[in-house]
Structure 1
Amino acid sequence: MKIFAIADTHLSGLPPAKPMSIFGRHWEGHWDKIRASWQEQVAPEDVVLIAGDISWAMKLPEALTDLNAIAGLPGRKIVVRGNHDYWWQSVSKMTKAVEGKIEFLNNSFAGAGEWAICGSRGWTCPEDPLFKTADQPIFNRELLRVEASLAAARTAGFSRILLMLHFPPFYDHNTETGFAGLIAKYKAAICIYGHLHGESIKNAATGMINGAAHYLVSCDALNFKVRQLI
């Protein structure tokens, strides 16, 4: 079993009703590139993590074209919500809609061999200059969700933890609070995240940080290919 990751697929139906090429020529045919990479690399026994911003759809029925396209690809799929996933509903509703072919993390974790896959959406961190007063309640709720996920994995006896967020876990990687604090507290070995695009990719914090390997997996940062983590 191998574990792969990608984020920010930003699908909008097939053919796309909202082509991502409006964000640059490098986005032209981006789903075809992702799908080709996925089919080439991923075997049925492998796991693919999708770290949010999956579909531009506003409602779950509208997202099913995109979710079913993902469900039809090889491997086991585990996902978290992104800030643009407005179609997101309860786990039970989403699981039923996709006939159990995709796993949705919400205050929970998924076991994958010796690894616990934990995660939630995350949010803009207080250290970010763009952080507003209205962000604080959302940030606090996401902290609780992430900790619930991590704590459940530890309670279940997992020692190897991979944390999947949509937002970066910190603005300043020297911080010891917030999501970075939870990564340290629960000794997560790997943290993946998306959300960042364009020029922001260049400044993303990746590599070994405070004992955990950090990966930016937004699809344009990966040249529209799934990345093997394990």
Structure 2
Amino acid sequence: MAVYAIADLHLSDSMDKSMDIFGKHWENHADKIEAAWRKLISSHDTVLIPGDISWAMKLSEAQPDLDRIGRLPGEKYMIRGNHDYWWSSINKVRSVLAPGLHAIQNDSFLLADGTAICGTRGWIVPGAAAYEQDDEKIYLREVGRLKLSLDHARDRGAERIIAMTHYPPFNDRQEPNEFTRLFTQYGVEQVVYGHLHGVGGVSYRVKELDGVQYKLTSCDYLRFVPALIREE
């Protein structure tokens, strides 16, 4: 079982929301992702999706996008991104997901080999240029949600942990914060994240901090090919 990750799918099968306005490389991006996915990934593999899944505003509008992901091979685990406005209550989201597609919120999933998949959306962190006092409440709430997810994994006897955030879990100077401290404290092996596009990701291409491996997995950064996180 190999583990892959790809964030920021930005699907829009039920609405006219093209990503082409962000550059020619985005043309037919959903088809590019699907083609690469089917070439690389088998039914025995795991795929992590760190948010920004669909442009839909309502869960019913997101259904075609979720069904498209559900038809792809592999066991798939996703968290909410900042553009996933369709993501309502976790019970409602889970009720419409195809078998093999799983949503994480305040909890975790345990793979057959003892690896737990954890995650939360995250938020702008202290020290980031855009961080303001009003962000503190949301930042701390997301820290709490991450801790709930990690505690859930530990309570289930996880042998190792891979985590997802949508927002990068550090600022562009890679300064420690409550997210990174939790990852280190709980012995998380790898963290995958997205949110950043184009040149915005250059300062965030961090490979290791305090023993934790980090990887930016925005789909355009990956050239629309799921990244191999862990080999079989």
- Quickly name the TM-score band, shorter chain normalised: over 0.9
What percentage of aligned pairs have identical amino acids? Answer: 42
Q: Which residue of 2 aligns with 1:95?
A: 94
Q: Which residue of 2 aligns with 1:227?
A: 227
Is residue 155 of structure 2 the alignment partner of residue 155 of structure 1? yes
The 3-state SS of whatever aligns with 2:119 is strand
Deviations 1:23-62 (CA, angstroms, capped at 9, x unpaired)? 0001011111100010001111111110000000000000
Whole-angstrom CA distance in 2 between matches of 1:151 and 1:60: 29
The 3-state SS of whatever aligns with 1:39 is helix
Q: Which residue of 2 aligns with 1:193?
A: 193
Q: Which residue of 1 aligns with 2:85?
A: 86
29-38 or 171-180, larger mean C-alpha shift: 171-180
Tell me if structure 2 keeps the 8 A contact 1:173–1:205: no
Whole-angstrom CA distance in 1 between matches of 2:126 and 2:203: 18
Whole-angstrom CA distance in 2 between matches of 1:6 and 1:45: 17
1:133 offset after TM fit, Å? 2.1
Q: Which amino acid letter does the alignment assign opposite residue 53 of structure 1?
A: D
Q: Which residue of 2 aligns with 1:214?
A: 214
The 3-state SS of whatever aligns with 2:36 is helix
Q: Which amino acid letter does the alignment assign opposite residue 98 of structure 1?
A: L
Q: Which residue of 2 aligns with 1:62?
A: 61
Q: Which runs of 5+ in 1 are unaligned?
A: none
Tell me if structure 1 keeps the 8 A contact 2:7–2:217: yes
Whole-angstrom CA distance in 2 between matches of 1:108 and 1:173: 29
TM-score, length-scaled by structure 1: 0.96
Alignment of 1:22-41 (within 5 A): 22-41=21-40
Tell me if structure 2 keeps the 8 A contact 1:95–1:101: no
1:200 offset after TM fit, Å? 1.1
1:226 offset after TM fit, Å? 0.6
Q: Which residue of 2 aligns with 1:180?
A: 180
Deviations 1:178-214 (CA, angstroms, capped at 9, x unpaired)? 1011111111110100000011122213212210111
The 3-state SS of whatever aligns with 1:117 is strand
Is residue 75 of structure 2 the alignment partner of residue 76 of structure 1? yes
The 3-state SS of whatever aligns with 2:66 is helix
Q: Which residue of 1 aligns with 2:124?
A: 124
Deviations 1:57-89 (CA, angstroms, capped at 9, x unpaired)? 000000001110000110111000000000001
Q: Which residue of 2 aligns with 1:4?
A: 4
The 3-state SS of whatever aligns with 1:229 is strand
Whole-angstrom CA distance in 2 between matches of 1:109 and 1:61: 25
Q: Tell me which stretches of 4 or more aligned residues in structure 1 moved more than 6 Å.
A: none
The 3-state SS of whatever aligns with 1:181 is helix
Alignment of 1:159-174 (within 5 A): 159-172=159-172, 174=174
The 3-state SS of whatever aligns with 1:73 is coil
Q: Which residue of 1 aligns with 2:50?
A: 51
Whole-angstrom CA distance in 2 between matches of 1:64 and 1:129: 36
Deviations 1:149-206 (CA, angstroms, capped at 9, x unpaired)? 1111112111311110000111055433210111111111101000000111222132
- Size of the aligned set, in residue pairs, is 229
Whole-angstrom CA distance in 1 between matches of 2:110 and 2:201: 30
The 3-state SS of whatever aligns with 2:110 is strand
Whole-angstrom CA distance in 1 between matches of 2:175 and 2:16: 40
80-89 or 165-174, larger mean C-alpha shift: 165-174
In 2 relative to 1, CA 172–26 (structure 1 residues): closer, same or farther, beyond 3 Å? closer
197-206 or 72-81, larger mean C-alpha shift: 197-206
Q: Which runs of 5+ in 2 are unaligned?
A: none
